[in-house]
Structure formats: C-alpha cells, structure tokens
C-alpha cells in the first residue's frame, strides 16, 4: 500500500475582479504556484480588458489561466430557459459560472486533496456571504484569503493591485462596481445601467434590444429592472429607462 500523500491542489475561483485577483496574489506567496489553478468561467460577455488583466495576473504569478465555459452568453441562456434573469433571480451566475466551475472541480480536483479559494472582498456587506458560499461548495473545503484581515475599501484593494504591478481592469475606473459581463449585469441596479448607457451606449443598445426580443419571444411583461413608485412595484424596461434618461438630459 502506498504511503505517499497527494499534494494539495489550490484552485482559485477567479472572476476577473479585484477580490479574486488579490486572493490569488496572496495565495501565491504561501503555496507553490505549481500547485495552483486560476479557474475562470467565460460568460462570453466579458469586457475585453478583463482578459488583458487576467493574462497579466497569470503571468505575474506564473499560473496559467484555466478557462471553462457553458458556451452561451447570458442572453442566449435566458431564451433557452424562457426566463429573463434579474437581481432577485440571476440564473446566469448558476449556469454560466457555477456549473462550469463545479464540473471542472469534479473532473480535476478531488475534494479530499483540493481547496477552493473565493475572493470575497473584506467589507461588512460581503463578509456574511462566506457562510452560504462554504455550504454551496461542499464537499470542497473553501477559504477566503481576504477575509482574515480588516475591512478595506474598493479603492484600497485597487491600490494594492497597482502596488503589486498590475493595472486594474478598466471597468472600475469607468464607474462600475464589478468587472463582470462587460458592465451589463442583470444584478446591477438602475445607476449602473445608466452608467452603461453613458460609457458603452452600444452595449446598452444590445441589452435593450435583447430585453425587448425576450419580451416578445415570451409574450410577457418582463424586465430586468423594477422600481417602487408611490409604494407600488413597477417593471422598468431598459427602453423606458433610456427614454427617461434622454428626456432628463
Ligand atoms: S455577472 Fe451578472 S449578468 Fe453576468 S452571469 Fe453574473 S449575474 Fe449574470
């Protein structure tokens, strides 16, 4: 019987954002980079600078990117599922990110010898997410490299990236809270969609057309956004939001 102990595998669930990038950088200081994996799910909707940043990080720590993909973008998924996702139910995260990453783990990283690392940012808002993430990743052990330290702001985290020689993904400087799905995230609120309209009008136009297409396809009054008016919840389509922004400017 062999007495050899399998080497631990350290798999960073890399999103392309500042939290998971710093998690990878911190981890690379305490484990052999040869035992690390930078696992990222391609949603086919990412900003091109996410891939520049990902390559820079991979080169800096000497760990190649491992990319998985469902193959669809969020809009194709919504049509297939006959459901327009929103901030209450973002099924795109499950299908385009969680399932591909978990499938890779099942095929390549046995739970007995692997640890998953998740880059939750050390803020009062994000820290409570750790418990549910740990439950969802069972049977894998999960660690959150940034949660050991004190609370930090996004600006502080971005500064650390720069100090370590990385140019942060451009979406942060363009006013987006997260570097995901090119700024056109169904979980974002009205403010981010208005920012998308200003910064990337062509992306907004695509999202607006896709939302209208799905409304027609499903023959239903659905929308990504909603708002409360005089205490009553209302649907708010991207077309309506754009018209209101144009009228106000
Ligand atoms: S970033 Fe937003 S749009 Fe993209 S998969 Fe996640 S929830 Fe969906």
Q: Taking the domains of the chain in order of start, what are their residue ranges?
A: 9-174, 190-248
Residue 87: predicted pLDDT: 83
What pairs with residue 234 in β-bridges?
Answer: 227
Q: How far is the CA of 111 from the centre of ligand 1 (A)?
A: 27
Residue 249: predicted pLDDT: 87
Pick the CATH number of 9-174 from 3.40.190.10, 3.40.50.620, 3.30.110.30, 2.60.40.1180: 3.40.50.620
Quote the tokens at residue 165: 């020689």
Q: Which one of 93, 177, 210 would you pick to mutate in the ligand 1 pocket, going by the greatest count of ligand atoms within 8 A of its CB?
A: 93
Report CA-CA distances (Å) from 75 to 98, 116, 133, 241: 17, 29, 25, 19
Q: Is residue 77 scored above 50 in pLDDT?
A: yes
Residue 88: predicted pLDDT: 87
Residue 99 in contact with ligand 1 by CB distance below 6 A: no
Residue nearest to atom 4 of ligand 1 (CA): 181
pLDDT digits (tens, 9 = 90+) for 206-225: 999 999 999 999 999 999 99
Residue 33: predicted pLDDT: 97
Q: Is residue 147 scored above 60 in pLDDT?
A: yes
Residue 186 in contact with ligand 1 by CB distance below 6 A: yes
Burial class (CB in 10 A: 0-12, 13-18, 19+), 157: buried
Residue nearest to atom 3 of ligand 1 (CA): 185
Residue 5: predicted pLDDT: 61
């Amino acid at each position: 019987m062999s007495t050899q102990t399998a080497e631990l595998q350290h798999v960073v669930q890399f999103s392309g954002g500042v939290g998971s990038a710093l998690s990878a950088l911190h981890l690379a200081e305490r484990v052999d980079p040869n035992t690390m994996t930078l696992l990222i799910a391609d949603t086919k909707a990412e900003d091109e600078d996410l891939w520049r940043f990902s390559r820079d990080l991979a080169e800096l720590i000497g760990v190649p990117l491992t990319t998985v993909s469902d193959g669809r973008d969020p809009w194709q998924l919504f049509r297939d599922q006959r459901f327009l996702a929103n901030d209450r139910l973002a099924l795109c995260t499950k299908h385009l990110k969680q399932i591909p990453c978990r499938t890779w783990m099942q095929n390549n990283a046995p739970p007995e010898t692997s640890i998953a690392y998740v880059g939750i940012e050390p803020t009062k808002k994000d820290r409570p997410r750790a418990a549910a993430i740990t439950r969802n990743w069972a049977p894998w052990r999960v660690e959150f490299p940034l949660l050991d330290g004190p609370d930090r702001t996004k600006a502080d985290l971005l500064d650390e990236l720069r100090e370590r020689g990385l140019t942060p993904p451009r979406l942060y400087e363009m006013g987006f809270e997260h570097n995901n799905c090119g700024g056109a995230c169904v979980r974002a609120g009205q403010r981010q969609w208005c920012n998308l309209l200003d910064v990337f009008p062509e992306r907004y136009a695509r999202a607006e057309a896709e939302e209208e297409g799905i409304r027609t396809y499903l023959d239903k009054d659905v929308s990504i956004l909603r708002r409360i008016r005089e205490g009553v919840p209302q649907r708010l389509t991207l077309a309506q939001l754009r018209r209101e922004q144009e009228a106000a400017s």
